[in-house]
């Protein structure tokens, strides 16, 4: 794998640092996590890592970390400003022994400024960026999207990007460096497009929950189904909207994309409540593997053949493997049935796939989604 041979030391923390370490483990790095004695077992992101329990309040534990970092490529630490320095594990000490070390600091507020010594959580970091004010339903309060944006997108992923850039730069300089990744700045950077697109009046300009992408529009929203579950609709482009409305059995002239959003929401709400989520999402997997120029396609189920016995026998003889005794058993005494040798399907090109597959998706509960997604990807 691409990171095979890269050695990472990760000091145990909550979600952001463990996910950052897991990314490196997933791509082949040798990751050793330093756990604290008697710490609760709440880390669910330890995949691919090895663990060692050390008491960093004792000189012996600190000494072992120093030895690990002396030959490591990366250190990931999740503590507030000054904590590592108090333990004698600050960057000045560790990089003196190992100038190639990439010292990654993943914190909430960074190493400078009035908030650097404060504790915080995803919702606090997100609120400081201003992005939280844009999330939520019409006439409702700002709603945090659990802890995905700041902890994982603005924290873990941005830190992993910084470490990767430092590893790349080291190939020319031979030197490590400090990566200062904090969740406030990382989340703000993730929201760059949101800030820079505020001058696009077609997208923004209205209050929270009333714009095109924040549940204000009926074609970018969620809808309850008959069984109390939900469907997610994302039919932003006119051609996708037209196909979605048509497949729902509605008249595009009466359910226009830019008609009154609240009225159109009511139409779609009523429509989606006519069926269960399963009924809305029944589909067949496309043939795999996918060929870029000549993909297969899901064909219509053939109707039962109505033919005379003599013609049927001739048909089966023509399209059955040689050697079959027509009893469904191989003449070689194995139990596998002979397979029909049928002509290959006609080529279907990329543009022929129903584009509505990208517009309407079920909203599964977490456990069901993980299970179904794992089955789908097998």
Contact 246, 238 (CB under 8 A): no
d(CA 326, CA 286): 31
Dihedral angle computed from the Cα positions of residues 312, 318, 323 and 327, in that order, rounded to the nearest 10 degrees: -10
Sequential DSSP letters for 136-175: S-TTS-----TTIIIIIIIIIIHHHHHHHHHHHHHHHH--
Cβ distance 35 to 102 under 8 Å? no
Other Cβ atoms less than 10 A from the Cβ of 197: the count is 11
Is 218 among the catalytic positions? Answer: no
Q: Is 121 a catalytic residue?
A: yes
Strand partners, 106: 181
Q: Which of 151, 199, 253, 369 is the catalytic position?
A: 151
Among 121, 227, 270, 351, the active-site one is: 121
Rounded distance between C-alpha atoms, residue 146 and residue 123, angstroms: 8
Alpha helices, H only, the chain: 16-26, 59-70, 83-86, 91-97, 122-129, 158-173, 183-190, 192-196, 238-247, 261-272, 277-281, 309-319, 366-377
* Distances in whole angstroms, Cα of residue 164 to Cα of each of 135, 206, 219: 31, 39, 38
The values of phi and psi at residue 3, to 5°, are -105, 15
Q: How far is CA 138 from CA 5, 201, 297, in A?
A: 51, 18, 42
> Which residues does the annotation mark as catalytic?
121, 151
């Amino acid at each position: 794998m691409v990171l095979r041979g890269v050695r990472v030391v990760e000091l145990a923390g909550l979600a952001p640092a463990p996910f950052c370490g897991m990314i490196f483990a997933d791509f082949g790095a040798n990751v050793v996590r330093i756990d604290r004695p008697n710490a609760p077992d709440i880390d669910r992101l330890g995949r691919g890592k090895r663990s060692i329990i050390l008491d960093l309040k004792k000189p012996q534990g600190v000494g072992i970390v120093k030895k690990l970092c002396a030959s490591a490529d990366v250190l990931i630490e999740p503590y507030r400003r000054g904590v590592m320095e108090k333990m004698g594990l600050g960057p000045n000490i560790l990089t003196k022994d190992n100038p190639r070390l990439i010292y990654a600091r993943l914190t909430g507020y960074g190493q400078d400024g009035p908030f650097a010594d404060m504790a915080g959580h995803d919702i606090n970091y997100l609120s400081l960026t201003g992005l939280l004010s844009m999330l939520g339903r019409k006439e409702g309060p700002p709603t945090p999207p659990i802890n995905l944006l700041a902890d994982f997108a603005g924290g873990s992923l941005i830190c992993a990007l910084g470490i990767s850039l430092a590893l790349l730069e080291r190939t020319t300089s031979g030197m490590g460096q400090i990566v200062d990744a904090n969740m406030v700045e990382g989340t703000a950077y993730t929201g760059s497009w949101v800030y820079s697109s505020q001058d696009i009046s077609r997208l923004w300009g209205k209050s929270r929950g009333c714009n095109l992408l924040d549940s204000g529009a009926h074609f970018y929203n969620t809808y309850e189904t008959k069984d109390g579950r939900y469907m997610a609709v994302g039919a932003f482009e006119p051609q996708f909207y037209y196909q979605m409305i048509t497949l729902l059995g509605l008249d595009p002239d009466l359910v226009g994309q830019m008609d009154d959003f609240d009225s159109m929401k009511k139409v779609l709400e009523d429509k989606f409540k006519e069926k269960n989520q399963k009924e809305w999402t029944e589909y067949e997997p496309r043939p795999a593997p996918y060929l870029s120029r000549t993909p297969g396609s899901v064909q219509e189920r053939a109707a039962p053949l109505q033919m005379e016995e003599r013609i049927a026998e001739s048909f089966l003889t023509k399209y059955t493997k040689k050697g079959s005794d027509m009893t469904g058993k191989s003449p070689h005494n194995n139990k596998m049935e002979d397979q029909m040798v049928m002509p290959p399907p006609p080529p279907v090109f990329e543009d022929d796939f129903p584009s509505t597959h990208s517009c309407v998706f079920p909203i599964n509960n977490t456990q069901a989604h993980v299970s179904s997604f794992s089955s789908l990807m097998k």
